[in-house]
A = this chain, B = another copy of it.
Amino acid sequence: MFSSRPPCNVGDSVTDVETPALLVCLKKLEQNLNTLKEAMKSFPSVKLRPHAKTHKCAMLARLQIQSGAVGLCCQKLTEAEALVQGGIQDVLLSNQVINKKKLLRLASLAKSAHIAVCVDSERNIEDLSEAAKTLDVMLDIVIEVNVGGFRCGVEPGPDVARLAKKVMSLSNIRFKGLHCYNGRNQHIRSLADRQTAVNEVIEKTKLALSALKESEIECNYVTGGGTGTFHLEAASEVFTEVQPGSYVFMDVDYGLNLDGEEKFVSEFQQSLYILSTVQSVAENRAIVDVGLKAVSLDSGVPTVKNSGDQVYISGGDEHGVIVPPGDLKVGDQLWLIPGHCDPTVNMHEWIVGMRDGRVESIWPIGGKGPGI
């Protein structure tokens, strides 16, 4: 029913891949996995739980486990299902799951894997306990704290202790700790400003921990941080776990964080591309088959790999305009570097892994979609 045909076969030359296709340079991907593994050696007491919202792909998650991760994070139930079905044993759903049918689906995953989930309301905690009881499983509960993102999460203070007590009062659920993440901080350009922003996260996290301590509730799990800040949270002596996600792929937006003073982010390599084909050439432009249904423009347009002076201009839903056209001919392939990796990956169904110009792997993006 769905257009789930892969765009190539293993062994194909990259030039034979049908487009638009999501292409990953496996060497660069492996470098990124290794760079993070090495970086984490500076923080021996901090665990690594990469975020799978970036790739939604169990095959890639397994490489992350092989590279030292204790488990994966994800943001949607469909992602958790794809990860567990793909063999991941330990998953934190770093978001709230509300609907009762969904809570049963979540509890069902705990039959096969260790499952934790974030909460920020009492009713949700009650519903989680009910669902876990129904299926006779144990769910770990992580309280989400608003550490400055003003999205989900309770304020760092008495509400944290109130929710923890609520968790401890009910069966089949277990208080695990705190989720303290501010996504916006990842993209603050200068390291100094990012450190300042993370200091606020750390202060608020300490407030939340104090509230627990005042209520004599033990807490030895604090998770958060992303590709732009994980080393700052890891160095805080407050966080016990970090959640970088985009580091596997990188994108134009993260590239703007590279200001020369950067300790880790600048070491991650661009591994992700959108492979496009030139479908039309005119005097002043070439048109490629990648528009905003194949590359997310939320954080800016893609750049063109090895482009010289060529830039991508949005051509709407299905087209990109490349100016100047240079020597481009109809049928030529262009490699585009997406502005924002996560939502771009979500528009595709397969990750084509390539090495030395050949397709080595074709991984399904099993958790893709709006996250029902």
Contacts and interface: CB of A to CB of B under 8 A. Distances in A.
Interface of A: 1-5, 7, 16, 18-21, 53, 75-76, 78, 81-82, 95-96, 98-99, 101-102, 120-121, 123-124, 144, 146, 150-155, 183, 277-282, 284-285, 287, 289-290, 292-294, 296-298, 315-319, 321, 330-331, 342-343, 346-349, 364, 366-372
Nearest to A282: B146
B102 A18 contact: yes
Contacts of A348: 369-370
A270 to B, nearest CB: 19
* Interface class of chain A by DSSP: loop
Contact of A319 (B151, B154, B289): B151
A343 B293 contact: yes
B297 A317 contact: no
Q: How many copies does the complex hold?
A: 2
A2 B82 CA distance: 8
Contacts of A146: 282
A347 B318 CA distance: 14
A348 B280 CA distance: 29
Contacts of A282: 146, 150, 154-155
B53 A285 contact: no
B152 A287 contact: yes
Contact of A96 (B3, B101, B280): B280
A231 B150 CA distance: 46
Contacts of A183: 316
A243 to B, nearest CB: 14
A280 B163 CA distance: 14
Contacts of A289: 98, 371
Given A289-B98, A316-B151, A121 B372 contact: no
A-B pairs, 9 with minimum CB distance: A294-B370, A3-B78, A152-B280, A20-B370, A96-B279, A7-B372, A1-B364, A3-B369, A293-B346
Nearest to A279: B96
B120 A280 contact: yes
A368 B347 CA distance: 9
Given A146-B282, A369-B348, A298 B290 contact: no
B366 A2 contact: yes
16 contacts: A1-B364, A2-B368, A2-B369, A5-B372, A7-B372, A16-B101, A18-B372, A19-B372, A96-B280, A121-B330, A150-B282, A152-B287, A289-B371, A294-B371, A317-B343, A347-B369
Contacts of A342: 293, 317
B296 A292 contact: yes
Nearest to A58: B1
A107 B317 CA distance: 25
A326 to B, nearest CB: 17
A98 B333 CA distance: 11
A152 B319 contact: yes
A228 to B, nearest CB: 14
B318 A371 contact: yes
Contacts of A366: 1-3
